[in-house]
Structure 1
Amino acid sequence: MFKQWEAAPAGTELSLTEVLDQIQFNEAGLVPAIAQQHDSGEVLMLAWMNRDSIIETLQTGQVCYWSRSRQTYWRKGESSGHRQRLCEMRLDCDGDAVLLLVDQQGPACHTDRRDCFYVSLSANGARILTDPASGR
């Protein structure tokens, strides 16, 4: 189906069920989901979603992931209050990754940093970029 969709013009409507059926979930039934701040483009985090968490997120507008460590649904911000409101969900060109454009309330990372990508790697080593809480 993705090959057919490549040639489709902008504005072509597709059935949600048809698209969900084409997502390339891994052997655990999961697909990686990248959360990006909708207005700044800042990449916040990567997590995992299954079919049901995708549907819940689309229906409620509150981002829901699948927690691999806890083996349960993880509604972002449920305990911390640092919620992610869905602005738009996109699927990549071959159906093996989801992009979530979100409005992040507070820090996205469990370390209390704005995003989860605070370790910078280089050929010479690694460096922590931001402090917890302040994000700077």
Structure 2
Amino acid sequence: MKVEDLKFDAQGLIPCVVQQYDTGEVLMVAWMNAESVALTLETGTTWFWSRSRQELWNKGATSGNMQQLRELLVDCDADTLLARVDSPGPACHTGNRTCFFRTFDNED
């Protein structure tokens, strides 16, 4: 598989699920463009496209919790990525280990 074989959306983006490689814990979901995919493969750390800031960001560059890429997988349709990483600290900007820490409250 090559970057040019991926199916990016109309904005040139593809979703990427980020998973802790040894536990299977889903840490986050982020967007990548062709450049961030290439940088991730080249550097061995995760790079994403920030839709709000309209810029590339290297996950953990500010906090020191750099995600080390173990494996980048492509789904059967080539329209979603799975980054299996070693994440040394919190993956969520809230300080939580994972971005998926909230549950739905079924009470009215």
Name the TM-score class by shorter chain. Answer: over 0.9
CA RMSD of aligned residues (A): 1.3
Please point out which of 23, 37, 61 is paired with 2:6: 23
Please point out which of 31, 39, 45 is paired with 1:56: 39
TM-score by structure 2 length?
0.94
Higher-Rg member (1/2): 1
CA deviations on 1:87-127 (whole Å, 9 max, x unpaired) are 000000001100000000210000000000011125436xx
More helix by percentage:
1
Among all aligned residue pairs of Structure 1 and Structure 2, give the percentage whose two residues are the same amino acid. Answer: 47
Figure out how many residues of one structure are paired with residues of the other and give that number: 108
SS of structure 2 residue aligned to 1:94: coil
Q: Tell me which residue corresponds to 1:92.
A: 75
**Is there any run of 5+ residues in structure 1 with no aligned partner, and where?**
1-13, 126-136
Q: Tell me which residue corresponds to 2:96.
A: 113
Larger relative contact order (Cα-Cα within 8 Å, sequence gap ≥ 6)? 2
Residue 104 in 1 paired to residue 87 in 2? yes
TM-score by structure 1 length?
0.75
**Is there any run of 5+ residues in structure 2 with no aligned partner, and where?**
none
